[in-house]
Amino acid sequence: MIEALLGASLIVMIALAAMAVYVWRRPLDMSKGGLRHLRKGLALACASSLLLAGVNTLWLVARTTGFDSLFVMVAAVGNLSNAASLVYGLRELTGESVFAGLLIVFAQLLWLFFGIIVMTSTGYC
């Protein structure tokens, strides 16, 4: 199950990176402030999805009891940073920002799923 989560997080990471490149390369029909916030939101979402892929890999390799609380805290921080990227990205509603928002929401669902997996397997729930 965690392997599928790792694959999905890698796909979302690639999609968010491609969306960030698209936003940086093309002139969008947005205000300068909205475009700046969309770029910040996408950068934060890319960092969050990169962290998700890294944490998933670490969870696959080292499922020891000494790092359980660390994985729970990283899942909480990842959820918060991804939620912040969603707020940044959707300041101005255009087609590009809505599509980026959908990608960020999917990444948020992956973060929530990872947090549930970690908490149930370590005995926090």
Distance CA 57, CA 3 (A): 9
- For position 14, what pLDDT does the model report? 95
In angstroms, the CA 38 to CA 98 distance is: 10
Give residue 125's pLDDT.
Answer: 62
- Provide the pLDDT for residue 66: 64
Please give the pLDDT value at position 124.
65
CB–CB of 6/54 below 8 Å? no
Q: Which two tokens stand for residue 80?
A: 């918060």
Specify the pLDDT at position 29.
82
Residue 74: how many CA atoms within 13 Å on its side-chain side? 19
Distance of CA 78 to the CA centre of its chain: 7
pLDDT of residue 117: 87
Q: Where are the alpha helices (DSSP H) in the chain?
A: 2-25, 32-61, 68-89, 95-122
Q: Please list the rounded mean pLDDT of every run of 10 residues in the chain (125 residues).
A: 87 93 86 89 93 89 71 90 91 88 94 89 68
